[in-house]
């Protein structure tokens, strides 16, 4: 506990800055671009994220079919022990892919922006009737089901209820603790885009959020001095919390090897090839510039937790346009889960092989598509992929019970695949910036020559030499003097 305590404080400080950083970066970034350019950047970003997630799902499925990590003998006594610890998984009805997609829409369009900062919506199944249960504390009726399900403890009790009896399950939507990042991202994108269209009236608001972003980045600079201690503490504490690391790794060594190989191939071959094809620059120099965010993402197992450090490296060290990073990185933290797509694909094939299932071509394609769709609805929190894995297993009718075996090693595998998610966001920002360079130049020119923005006195400030200058960041003022020739006559 004492060894992990510095790492706990380190993660708390990082998480503290996520919400103001995302809000300030998205509003200030999207407001500096026109609505048409925002649409183009959003389309390019989404296409890139969808393509790379699909590539990771195909890569994971191919490696699992070639290496065949799910040897039937891998199911051992450890499975029985882990099954007892995770018994609720076998007694509750799991959500379907349709439920996950519908929850994605509910979170993108929240009904309360303040609630979105604290809670996110998700679908759960609860028993319609609980025969034999008496008392006010245990009685469940149709009207009380949503109220009961709003409590985490009540949900667990319902899941632990015996599944041997004939139960009719009802679907309800409840709220669980956790920031609804998707809803906040959507609101900030729309707010920032429309803010940039009202001209001079919105200038004060843009400067307000830009100032917040600058202050948060200064806080990040201070936190970076604690990175070595925080990362070491988090990893050491997690390793010490596992009872028998060697035994767990031995049982699932081939699965870990398959995941690690897929991550290595994607990071060192596929990503580097994508970067070189689009930018024609040395991709490894770009990769080495992201070492610190990679280590932070590995230690915290969360792309969002490493977001403050990622912003600093992308803007200051790698010189990526801040308008692009403020737009792409927060979105990528929520919908770009390349490592999660790889993990779900490998884990689905692994469990099917372990259960002596023969997958046909249709089931393999289903694994690829389900892994891609599920990964884009994943939350940027540790071990979120384990919940989505149950959706993929249900799609191919694989035994869900065997998924409990992966809980023992997810603390390690989660850290490996998180580096894929983080690098995917960074390379996306670089590629999108390159593809949008012409539009960015046009946007700069339009901003300089808007009469309402340039000629207004309230958007200028006094220079040290007494001259007037525009207070827009990264702006250029051209003073053109026109001389009229004097006639000799």
Q: What is the DSSP string of 67-104?
A: H----GGG--HHHHHHHHHTTHHHHSPPP-HHHHHHHH
Is residue 260 in a domain? yes
CA within 13 Å, CB half, 323: 24
Q: Is residue 158 part of a domain?
A: no
Flag residues of the chain having pLDDT under 70: 72-97, 129-166, 247-248, 251, 377-384, 386-387, 401, 404, 446-489
CB 18, CB 179: distance < 8 Å: yes
Residue 349 lies inside a defined structural domain of this protein: yes
Burial of 84 per CB tally in 10 Å (0-12, 13-18, 19+): exposed
Question: Could you give the angle at which helices 384-395 and 410-435 cross, rounded to 10 degrees?
Answer: 90
Residue 333: HSE in the Cβ half-sphere, 13 Å Cα cutoff: 32
CATH number at residue 32: 1.10.3860.10
User: Does some domain include residue 101?
Assistant: no
d(CA 377, CA 382): 14
CB 4 within 8 A of CB 238: yes
Give the whole-angstrom CA distance, residue 32 versus residue 189: 11
- Residue 155 to residues 93, 100, 148, 355, 385, Cα–Cα distance (Å): 12, 18, 7, 30, 20
114 domain residue, yes or no = no
Q: Is residue 344 within 8 Å of residue 410, measured between CB atoms?
A: no
Pair 172, 126: CB distance under 8 Å: yes
- Nearest-angstrom CA–CA distance, 179 and 386: 19
Residue 146 lies in a domain: no
Are 97 and 373 within 8 A, CB to CB? yes
pLDDT score for 55: 95
User: In this predicted structure, what is the pLDDT of residue 82?
Assistant: 44
Residue 149 lies in a domain: no
Q: Please indicate, yes or no, if residue 367 is contained in any of the structural domains.
A: yes
Question: For residues 369 and 34, what is the distance between their CA atoms, to the nearest angstrom?
Answer: 34
What's the whole-model pTM score? Answer: 0.68
Count of domains forming the chain = 1
Q: Which range marks the domain in which residue 385 is found?
A: 2-73+176-440
User: Minimal CA–CA distance to 326: which of 102, 5, 26?
Assistant: 26
């Amino acid at each position: 506990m004492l060894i992990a305590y510095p790492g706990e404080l380190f993660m708390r400080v990082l998480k503290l800055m996520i919400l103001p950083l995302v809000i300030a970066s998205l509003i200030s970034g999207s407001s500096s671009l026109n609505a048409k350019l925002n649409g183009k950047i959003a389309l390019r970003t989404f296409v890139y994220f969808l393509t790379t997630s699909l590539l990771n799902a195909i890569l994971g499925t191919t490696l699992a079919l070639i290496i065949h990590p799910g040897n039937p003998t891998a199911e051992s006594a450890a499975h029985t022990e882990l099954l007892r610890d995770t018994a609720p998984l076998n007694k509750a009805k799991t959500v379907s892919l349709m439920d996950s997609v519908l929850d994605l829409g509910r979170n993108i369009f929240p009904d309360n922006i303040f609630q979105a900062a604290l809670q996110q919506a998700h679908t759960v199944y609860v028993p319609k009737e609980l025969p034999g249960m008496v008392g006010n504390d245990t009685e469940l009726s149709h009207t009380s089901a949503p109220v009961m399900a709003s409590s985490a403890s009540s949900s667990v009790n319902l899941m632990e209820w015996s599944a041997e009896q004939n139960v009719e399950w009802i679907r309800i939507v409840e709220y669980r603790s956790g920031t609804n990042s998707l809803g906040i991202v959507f609101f900030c994108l729309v707010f920032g885009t429309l803010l940039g269209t009202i001209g001079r009236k919105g200038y004060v608001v843009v400067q307000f959020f830009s100032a917040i972003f600058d202050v948060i980045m200064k806080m990040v600079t201070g936190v970076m001095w604690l990175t070595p201690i925080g990362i070491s503490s988090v990893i050491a504490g997690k390793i010490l919390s596992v009872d028998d690391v060697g035994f767990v790794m031995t049982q699932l060594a081939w699965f870990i090897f398959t995941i690690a190989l897929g991550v290595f191939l994607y990071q060192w071959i596929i990503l580097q090839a994508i970067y070189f094809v689009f930018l024609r620059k040395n991709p490894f120099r770009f990769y080495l510039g992201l070492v610190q965010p990679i280590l932070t993402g590995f230690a915290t197992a969360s792309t969002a937790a490493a977001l403050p450090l990622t912003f600093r490296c992308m803007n200051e060290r790698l010189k990526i346009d801040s308008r692009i990073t403020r737009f792409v990185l927060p979105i990528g933290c929520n919908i770009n889960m390349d490592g999660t797509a790889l993990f779900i694909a490998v884990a689905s094939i692994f469990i099917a092989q372990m259960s002596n299932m023969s997958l046909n071509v249709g089931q393999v394609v289903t694994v690829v598509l389900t892994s891609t769709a599920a990964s884009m609805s994943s939350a940027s929190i540790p071990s979120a992929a384990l919940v989505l894995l149950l959706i993929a297993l249900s799609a191919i009718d694989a035994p869900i019970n065997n998924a409990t075996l992966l809980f023992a090693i997810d603390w390690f595998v989660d850290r490996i695949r998180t580096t894929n998610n983080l690098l995917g966001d960074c390379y996306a920002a670089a590629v999108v910036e390159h593809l949008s360079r012409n539009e960015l130049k046009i946007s700069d020119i339009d901003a300089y020559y808007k009469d309402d923005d340039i000629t207004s006195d309230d958007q200028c400030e006094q220079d040290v030499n007494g001259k007037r200058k525009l207070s827009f960041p990264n702006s250029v003022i051209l003073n053109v003097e026109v001389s009229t020739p004097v006639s000799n006559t």
